[in-house]
Structure 1
Amino acid sequence: MNATSSTGRALTIQSHVVSGYVGNKCAVFPLQLHGFDVDPILSVQFSNHTGYGSWKGEVMTGDQLWSLVEGLETNGLLKGYTHLLTGYIGSASMLRTVARLVRKLRQHNPDLVYVCDPVLGDNGKMYVPAPLVGIYRDEIVPLATLVVPNQFEAELLTGSPIASEDDAIAACAALHAMGPPNVVLTSVDLDEKRCEQRFKITVPRIPSYFTGTGDLCAALLLAWSDKLPGQLGRAAERAVASLQGVLRKTAQAQAEAEAAGKTGIGCRELRLVQSVEELTRPTVTEEVQWLE
């Protein structure tokens, strides 16, 4: 399926880096390719992502976010949003302001689609203060149309470890019980192999380390679920195909750089601009497996 024009307008609130690809740098371009008008708000603005040895920049506060909201509302610009996407939010005040914003946007558009990437951490390491877990669980996740945690984030939100496919299904059920009608675990590493519409997509592991993959995945899920309403499994299939295509192209570029004697974190930045075909016309090789 090719990407087609959307009539949607998306507000996306997450991190921004001057150099590299994480947060809004991973979200805005793919959404625009899929026909969305995209308005980004930068929860942080850093020189580069924090995987580098150092970084500089600024962090937005909840009051600063609300000031932007008031400016948009004064000029009648809050009325047109069809979608909201949130990613990295680093403080309690900012996160609670996001909850206020969701409610305000739904006053203008009760059908607003809110895609929540609850960025808490990954691989056993938290990126944000611990109190944000409870705020996400009690105040943010219940407002979401689609929530897209990784395995570690789902474990934090539900309070239960995920070590098997049954655990993953139970975690999805627990997240559904919090309010969101749609849940996608964006990465789960399980030892065993073995709607409500429950599905999984098994993908090959690419032997490299990437940043921004969760941010890109959330944006792609928003785009494809808009094109395939009521078909979350098929939308996830295409989002995963796009993501895998970008990662393969990035890994290839990294290998070529290393062969030329170039090393460093910059060689692992996602090759988004070079992946227009993968983002808009992905080749699906890993299909949805429906679960009972």
Structure 2
Amino acid sequence: MNNVLSIQSHVVFGHAGNSAAVFPMRRMGINVWPLNTVQFSNHTQYGRWTGSVADADELTRVIEGIGAIGVLSRCNAILSGYLGSPEQGAAVVEIVRMVKAVNPKARFFCDPVMGTTSGCNVEPGIQEFLVSTMPEIADAMTPNHIELQKLTGRTIETVDEAVAACRELIARGPKVVLVKHLIDKNSRADTFNMLAVTETEAWFAQRPLYPFARQPVGVGDLTSAIFLARTLLGDSVRGALEHTLAAVNAVVRTTFQAGRYELEIVASQDEIAYPTERFPALGVDSE
């Protein structure tokens, strides 16, 4: 069985960070080791929350403890998301090195959460750390549109421009870039776009964009987790993209139909594992 070390935020109420990522991965047959960067009462887009940020040294000490009992080599992948401080970013880099020292085949998937959506708060310095450091460390990155622009210093308006930006990022280190939400000026306003790019492949896919009064939080965390899980389970880049888009669509559709703000992840669990509605990915020629 594949084991994923998931280093993200945790909210007691609702679904964001590990609270959106752990259960879906487990439902797909992936064993998850959650390591929480923060513990908050709820996600920050409510505008108020309580809780605390984990000490960066505590994160590395936890992993040292796993190493001390001789099982760290069983870790197949690391997934990082919301960071509570720049120091935690440095701890994540150290943890990745610790895991790869005992399992060189382990892969690091970085979800570079920069607080670019309204109401999503990250501490000063985190964005700069993600831009300057993570591309050289990560095996895969899963930015959204704005994060991809910040990672590459580019303005992106089309699919071709996004592919070029992803390839620029790939030249720094990661083998694959998943753009969790791509804003394409040529696409219809009622579509939600995703893009997966490697050095030699580029796949573009769309699902419906549901007209929420306020968009639910945690969709990006859910997306990164499912894409990682499907990759570990042996899907091609195209296959992982198609499964991810279909599974996330099922969760978002169920949430919209229920009139909820928090993601209906548990209610959608069967569709996460075996989505019934699929959306074909199309190859992109950006030359």
TM-score (norm 2): 0.90
* Change in 2 beyond 3 A, CA 1:248/1:126: closer
Match of 1:215 among 221, 224, 231: 221
Deviation of 1:70 (Å):
2.0
Distance 2:11 2:119 in 1: 21
- Aligned to 1:196, which of 162, 187, 200? 200
Q: Given the two structures, how large is their TM-score scaled by the length of structure 1? A: 0.89
Match of 2:115 among 100, 121, 131: 121
Q: Distance in 1 between matches of 2:47 and 2:201?
A: 43
One of 18, 22, 36 as aligned partner of 2:16: 22
Q: Aligned equivalents of 1:165 and 1:110: distance in 2?
A: 34
Whether contact under 8 Å (1:238, 1:284) holds in the other structure is no
Q: Pick which of 89-98 and 138-147 moved more.
A: 138-147
Counterpart CA distance in 2 for 1:152 and 1:124 is 12
Moved more, 11-20 or 52-61: 52-61
**Match in the other structure for 1:272:** 265
Please tell me whether the aligned partners of residues 140 and 174 of structure 2 are also in contact (alpha carbons under 8 angstroms): yes
Contact 1:121 1:152 (8 Å CA) reproduced:
no
Closer, same or farther: CA 111–88 of 1 in aligned 2, 3 Å:
same
> Deviation string for 1:138-183 (max 9, x for gaps)?
3222222211000011111111111122221121111101100111
- Tell me how far apart the structure 2 counterparts of residues 43 and 203 of structure 1 sit (CA, whole Å): 31
In the TM superposition, what is the alpha-carbon distance from 1:131 to its structure 2 partner?
2.8
Q: Distance in 1 between the 2:53 and 2:218 partners?
A: 18
**Closer, same or farther: CA 150–227 of 1 in aligned 2, 3 Å:** same
Amino acid across the alignment from 1:238: H
Cα distance in 1, alignment partners of residues 22 and 187 from structure 2: 35
Match of 1:234 in 2: 239
Deviates more, 1:102-111 or 1:137-146: 137-146
How many residues matched?
A: 273
Question: Is the counterpart of residue 205 in structure 1 residue 209 in structure 2?
Answer: yes
Task: Tell me, yes or no, if the aligned pair for 1:86 and 1:115 is still in contact at 8 Å.
Answer: yes
Cα distance in 1 for residues equivalent to 2:114 and 2:47: 21
Cα distance in 1, alignment partners of residues 269 and 122 from structure 2: 32
Whole-angstrom distance in 2 between the partners of 1:136 and 1:287: 31
Contact 1:46 1:56 in 2 (8 A): yes
SS in 1 for 2:45: coil
Question: What's the counterpart of residue 281 of structure 1?
Answer: 274
2: CA distance between counterparts of 1:170 and 1:253?
Answer: 39
More strand by share: 2
Identity fraction in percent:
34
2:20–2:218 CA contact under 8 A, matched in 1: yes
Q: What does the per-residue CA deviation read over 1:236-292, in whole Å, with 9 as the maximum and x for residues that have no partner?
A: 1001100000000000111xxxxxxxxxxxx31011111112111012432101011
What CA distance in whole angstroms lies between the structure 2 residues aligned with 1:10 and 1:123? Answer: 27
Q: Pick from 124, 129, 135: which aligns with 1:135?
A: 129
Q: CA RMSD in A?
A: 1.7
Amino acid at match of 1:216: L
Task: Return the offset for 1:135.
Answer: 2.1
Question: Is 2:250 the counterpart of 1:245?
Answer: yes
Gapped runs of 5+ residues in structure 2? 189-198
Corresponding residue SS for 2:8: strand
Counterparts of 1:53 and 1:127 in 2: how far apart (Å)? 9
